[in-house]
Chains A and B, each alone.
Chain A
Amino acid sequence: MGDPKHRDETGQRADLASLRAEVRAIERGSAGGARIARFSLGLPALDTHLGGGLALGRVHELVGEARGELRDGSVFGFAAALLTRLLADGRGGEILWCAREANMFGGMPYGWGLKALGLDPERVLFVRARDEAERLWAMEEGLRCGGLAGVVAELGSARPGEAGRVAERRLQLAAETSGVTGLLLRPLATSVSSGAADSRWRIAAAPSGGTLQPSWAISLERLRGGQPAAWLLRWDAVRGRFSDREAFSGQSGRSPKTQPGAERNAAA
């Protein structure tokens, strides 16, 4: 494993690492029988930590920093970047974007902005739904449609109740059946999630060092069969892949870093 977390000299830790890898393998096996197909994020350190990339045919959760509403473009941009990778390395096809009409803070997806990031707006079908239930319904319909590559749904700040948790498990099931990848975008207040998603990422904007290029402070809070971790990432729109922030090279010891406070392996 290239994971620096386990780059320890003592045999005891090495044993523990191999044990963990074994558990991880078992968990992955139970999820799909065979190896899960993944798409690369274009940054080796990231892909290695994820076990070869982000899982296809699963639902992933992207959580913002703001409470109540997403007040900046970081989560939307990160989602668009992931989708660009999905179309490039995962499976081709189209994207269904379930947008939130009432999102006063976040505006609406802008085609020229998506194109600037590398996501071809030609391949995105947008749907606007009045409420969360309709958005979840639309997302599930999308996840059942084998012709799509991915589905994004912007969710509000309401805490998912029991109905929401059931809905999320249904989403996960639909994604596993069709192989379509789902992204759930939500503000911070709902970060208490059902645990049904395959991974949960917390996304915050990060200073670009004056270039004004897309940059994020990413913390992987939860990964099925994997470890929490955090990175500072930049988006290379020309090559269409994530990269390390060189501006943070001085802090490379912390990148990738672990978050001691974050929940440990949550793949229970």
Chain B
Amino acid sequence: MARRFLYLYIPDFAFEWRGREATGAAGTAAPDAPAVLTRRLVGTEVIAAVNGAAALQGIAVGRTLADARAMMPGLTVLEADPAADRKRLERLRAWCHRYTPMVALDDKAAPFTGEGGSAGLILDITGCAHLFRQDGAEDFATEEQALGRDCLAALERLGFAARLAVADAPDAARAVARFSAPMLTLVPEGKLRMALEPLPVAALGIAAATVEALDRVGLRRIAQLAGQPRAPLANRFGLALVEALDRALGELSAALDMRLPEAPFQERIAFAEPIALREDLEASARRTLGALCRRLEREQAGARRVRLRFFRVDGEVLQVSAGTSRACRDADTLFRLLAQHFDKIDPGFGIDMVLAEMLEGDRAAGVQAALGSTEMRDRDAVTDLGDRLANRLGADAVHRLQPVESHLPERAEKRAAGRPGRKGLTWTNIRPPAPERAARPVRLMRRPEPVEATALLPDHPPARFRWRGAEYRVAHAAGPERIAPEWWRAGNDDAEMLTRDYFRLEDGEGRRFWLYRDGLAERGEAPKWFLHGLFS
């Protein structure tokens, strides 16, 4: 089956979304009033974009605002804001994911300078149209028509007047959508040439200079170009023209940035009546996840990361996602992970579609069957618990401790996200410390805390010390355990580290602490004392 592309063209995009935002409701702006977007250029207001009505009045991009006002006193003037346009366009793109996961912005929009306020989106709808099949319809074209009609109607509800075209090549769909009048044109499979021939050469999306040069030699329609031998064309008008022609005719494939990674597993559910109740959202989430998991089951795959997207009637797309440590295709587990975030889903005026997708997954591997030893089940239950906690509290909130080969207490362990792999160091396979180095505190300070300590002799343990406003008298002491800096590690932190002498201290009431003296007394380094840990 050939690939099929839908080009979505909104001529007055920049005006329509602004109008909608100003009036607060879709479709109530006056679409027929001439309007322009202006930007400042060396102290002059220059027109950056015009809407259809203004273009009909002969107002063109690039003229000054003063000229335009003279021609058309009642002109609506808005300030151009490319960043805001871009943001709106990205939101429209997200909205388009209701039809297909593959949506690209049309970056070729630039050559169409006469319509700076327009928007173009390319949707790869290969294999998607059947989702919009109407009862009884077996015909491929009918399905595409249903999709196109649905899209036009939905865009109209959002306040956009659009023109759509479906064709085998994205460039052809663009040419047809932009340069022919019907709201919806379906170019049948393999009929690109027939559809393109009547269109002007500008529809190829080539530079304005090339269009002019072609015009001078009388080449105005694509039909005239398509019949010409390619080599002389390329010599005279540049390779870009020939490539544009070949792309439009589907003989050269275009590179499109579809941005989203293809999500091969997705399930959707659309509602004729928008839903807003939390229970309804949850029920629809369960249904789509259930369908997704059944497909995963059939394909012997499991999800590592899933996303739910809620399409709001006003065009917003809200999403929640969750990850799991091991591949999973249990709808209940996935639902529990995602449902923690449902609080941030604001249904607004309602949600008309819910989409469940697998973003990352594993094939077959790692998916636990229901059978297994109790120990394995317990491990899986704990892994699931970790996922649940991480999804709610943040991925870095959940960790395990993994040992590290190091003498430095603070470096001798690290936080790890999950269970150690087969090759990793574990608390059982790491070399145990020598007995005199085995005494370690049950709590370690994140940073050693400076204390005021007084020792009877420079190299003695402290007789008393002061930590965080309280005074401790030392009754018993053990040590020192000398820990030298790991000079072989070229870490910056170590540059200033001195040799430490650690002492285990017990005060009169039995509280036990781990203190160290920074710097060697015999070298004459000024001793500083730090509290590094607490013993039980």
Q: Which residues of A contact B (CB under 8 A)?
A: 71-74, 76-78, 80-81, 92-94, 96, 104-117, 120-122, 124-130, 134, 137-138, 141-142, 145-148, 204-208, 210, 212, 214-217, 235
Q: Is B468 an interface residue (CB 8 A)?
A: yes
Partner of B533, one of A71, A110, A117, A130: A110
1/0 contact string of B510-536 vs chain A (CB within 8 Å): 111100000000000000000001111
Which residue among A108, A125, A145 has the maximum number of chain B CB atoms within 10 Å of its CB? Answer: A125
CB nearest to A65 among chain B residues: B509
Partner of A74, one of B402, B468, B511: B511
- Given A105-B468, A126-B401, A147-B385, verify A78-B440 contact (CB < 8 Å): no
CB nearest to B470 among chain A residues: A71
A121-B413, A205-B509, A205-B512 are known; give 16 further A-B pairs, CB within 8 A: A73-B441, A76-B536, A106-B534, A107-B441, A111-B403, A112-B413, A113-B441, A115-B427, A117-B442, A117-B536, A125-B400, A128-B393, A128-B397, A146-B378, A204-B510, A207-B509
Decide: B440 and A72 in contact? CB cutoff 8 A.
no
Partner of B510, one of A108, A121, A147, A207: A207
Decide: B398 and A125 in contact? CB cutoff 8 A.
yes
Partner of B478, one of A93, A122, A137, A212: A212
CA distance A208 to B440 in the complex (A): 16
CB nearest to B378 among chain A residues: A147
Q: Is B329 an interface residue (CB 8 A)?
A: no
Q: Which residues of B contact A72 (CB under 8 A)?
A: 511-513, 534
Q: Which residues of A contact B441 (CB under 8 A)?
A: 73, 107, 110, 113
CA distance A121 to B401 in the complex (A): 7
CB nearest to B432 among chain A residues: A115
Q: Which residues of A contact B504 (CB under 8 A)?
A: 212
Q: Which residues of A contact B426 (CB under 8 A)?
A: 122
CA distance A137 to B389 in the complex (A): 9
Which residue among B415, B442, B508, B534 has the maximum number of chain A CB atoms within 10 Å of its CB? Answer: B442
Q: How far is the CB of B414 from chain A (nearest CB, A)?
A: 9
| Contacting residues of chain B (484-526) with chain A, CB-CB under 8 angstroms | 504, 506, 508-513
The bracket for how many chain B residues form the interface is 35 or more
Q: How far is the CB of A145 from chain B (nearest CB, A)?
A: 4
Comparing B127-135, B346-354, B443-451, the segment that makes contact with chain A is B443-451
Q: How far is the CB of A72 from chain B (nearest CB, A)?
A: 4
Secondary structure type dominating chain A contacts: mixed
- Given A106-B534, A205-B510, verify A145-B443 contact (CB < 8 Å): no
CB nearest to A110 among chain B residues: B444
Secondary structure type dominating chain B contacts: mixed
Sample 21 A-B pairs with CB under 8 A, ordered by A number. A71-B468, A73-B443, A73-B512, A73-B535, A76-B534, A96-B385, A107-B443, A110-B442, A111-B403, A121-B403, A125-B386, A145-B384, A147-B377, A147-B379, A147-B382, A205-B512, A207-B475, A208-B476, A208-B506, A208-B510, A215-B510
Decide: A235 and B536 in contact? CB cutoff 8 A.
yes
Q: Which residues of B contact A (CB under 8 A)?
A: 375, 377-382, 384-386, 388-389, 392-393, 397-403, 409, 412-413, 415, 426-428, 433, 438-446, 468, 470, 475-476, 478, 504, 506, 508-513, 533-536
Q: How far is the CB of B467 from chain A (nearest CB, A)?
A: 8
Q: Which residues of A contact B399 (CB under 8 A)?
A: 125-128
Q: Which residues of B contact A120 (CB under 8 A)?
A: 427-428
CB nearest to B377 among chain A residues: A147
CA distance A121 to B380 in the complex (A): 18
CA distance A215 to B392 in the complex (A): 38
Decide: A107 and B533 in contact? CB cutoff 8 A.
yes
Decide: B427 and A138 in contact? CB cutoff 8 A.
no
Q: Which residues of B contact A217 (CB under 8 A)?
A: 510
Decide: A76 and B442 in contact? CB cutoff 8 A.
yes
Q: Which residues of B contact A122 (CB under 8 A)?
A: 400, 426-428
Q: How far is the CB of B434 from chain A (nearest CB, A)?
A: 13
CA distance A9 to B415 in the complex (A): 59
Partner of B389, one of A73, A114, A127: A127
Q: How far is the CB of B533 from chain A (nearest CB, A)?
A: 6
CA distance A81 to B508 in the complex (A): 23
Decide: A148 and B385 in contact? CB cutoff 8 A.
yes
CA distance A235 to B439 in the complex (A): 14
Q: How far is the CB of B378 from chain A (nearest CB, A)?
A: 4
- Given A122-B427, A127-B398, verify A116-B393 contact (CB < 8 Å): no
Decide: A126 and B442 in contact? CB cutoff 8 A.
no
- Given A107-B533, A147-B385, A208-B476, verify A80-B509 contact (CB < 8 Å): no
Q: How far is the CB of A176 from chain B (nearest CB, A)?
A: 18
CA distance A104 to B449 in the complex (A): 10
Q: Which residues of A contact B384 (CB under 8 A)?
A: 145
CA distance A184 to B398 in the complex (A): 19
Q: Which residues of A contact B440 (CB under 8 A)?
A: 110, 112-113, 115-116
